[in-house]
Amino acid sequence: MAELKPARVFEQFAKINQIPRPSKHEEQLISYLQAFAKERGLSVKVDETGNVLISKPASKGYENRATTVLQCHMDMVCDKLVDVEFDFYKDPIQTYVDGDWLKAKGTTLGADDGIGDAIELAILDSDDIEHGPIECLFTRDEETGLTGAFGMKSGFMTGDYLINLDSEDEGQIFVSCAGGINTTATFNFKREDAPKNYFFMLGSLKGLTGGHSGDDIEKKRANAIKVLARFLYMQQEKMDLRLAQWNSGKMHNAITRDGKIVFAVPFDKKEEVKADWNIFTKDVEDEFHVTDTNMVWSLESTDAQSVLPKTVSQNMIRAIQALDNGVFSICQDKELNEMVETSSTIASVQSEEDKVVCVTSQRSNVMSNLTNMANTIKATWQLAGAEVVQNDGYPAWKMNPNSKLLKITVDAYTKLFGKEPVVRGIHAGLECGLFSEKYPHIDMVSFGPTLRYVHTPEERLYIPTVQMVWDHLLEVLKNIPEK
């Protein structure tokens, strides 16, 4: 990646992408960061959760400046195309340049948040940058539970200012984020034989755009689970449909791109189902003709197998049909106008021998609305007879109207690029919400280079924006005030 600019950042990114780092399995990267610091004579510590903090003294003349924390997360979302052979626990990410974009071959790129890691490492590795004292914080497991930020104790970092490098739109400065809760429903049952003279079908959908269920939720992209539920619901309203398998989605924080269903209908209804499928698929393609242009559908016969009890099958399909999915409300605050406030996404449905587990994710920038949305989803599952569990969730990050760091960040951007950046909140979750609870004194902003289609194999990094973010960050560091 030597031809990419800034070279020092892309060199670090190339090294990081050789290191497997699925969520909850960042041990190799933790060891790498420890060795990196020790080789350069920098102080490094690892807390009991696995978060890594590397400290770098101020450059000459900046010793009296306040300490700035640069923060990103170590883990990456691991997703791949269904026909790609790849082991995220062993194989390095294979990147390539496509015009102005950096992509990966059939997998997620890992720029979320590997490019943040690379920027921090490039600063730690440089001796020609003007800055006050710096603490580079690398947190664990942001993508599947923010367990690193949850587990980090007060006092682990000591800075007065914090710059989160986990945003995905260059030219936008983020000052607040949504909180979130996951709601998981489990349908337990004992399988039974299908009635006699029933015809089994395997339906599948793939090729959807997908995306991040926070940052992309307002883009009206199709969710494979909801689409398949629509078809199943309409069919079971017409005939005695029996569900056997449903597997769709892998991650709690992504818009589901594909899925498969196995179901049985009376033998004399099979041609009617096939005709309905052909009509339904064309209608859905037309509905999402702007956002999802590469849908691939399949409906074929398959071997007979055991099925879910009729009541369980019916109730689960009804519940998924009924679930709120997508944008629920828009922010009313003037500072955050037109930003999504509250949303919910059904992220995965996975069937096993004696149960089906359904995972949903709720988000809101208003904590009372987050509770309401999560309770709405919980109640829907409860009415369907599922066992429902919710995690503790994570808090929203509220905008600080008196932020000194925000003014420094905006002024630096305006000076460099001759225009003001957009100051806004983000509907995705950032670790800043948890930091604001444990370190209420810290003044925080978030920015980063442009990424698209994160959490999918189409993830890409817009190369020119990395140089812009690098220049912007260095200008901000030069202007951090004295203690």
User: How far apart (Å, rounded) are the C-alpha atoms in residues 184 and 346?
Assistant: 10
**3-class SS shares of the chain: helix, strand, coil, % to 5:** 30, 30, 40
| Dmax (CA) of the chain | 84
- Judge whether 368 and 329 are in contact, CB under 8 Å: no
Provide the b/e sequence for 83-121 (b: ≥16 CB within 10 Å). Answer: eeebebeeeebebeeeeebbbbebbbbbbbbbbbbbbbb
Q: Which of 75, 79, 216, 341 is catalytic?
A: 75
* 168 included as an active-site residue: no
* 142 included as an active-site residue: yes
User: How far apart (Å, rounded) are the C-alpha atoms in residues 479 and 412?
Assistant: 8
| CA proximity to 103, closest of 17, 216, 5, 172 | 17
Q: DSSP class of residue 372?
A: H
Q: Which of 112, 120, 135, 142 is catalytic?
A: 142
Angle CA(180)–CA(366)–CA(348) in degrees, nearest 5? 25
- Judge whether 137 and 51 are in contact, CB under 8 Å: yes
The three-state secondary structure class of 34 is helix
- Across 217-368, the runs of DSSP E, i.e. the strands, are 242-248, 254-255, 259-266, 296-301, 326-330, 340-351, 355-364
- Judge whether 462 and 100 are in contact, CB under 8 Å: yes
Residues catalogued as catalytic: 75, 142
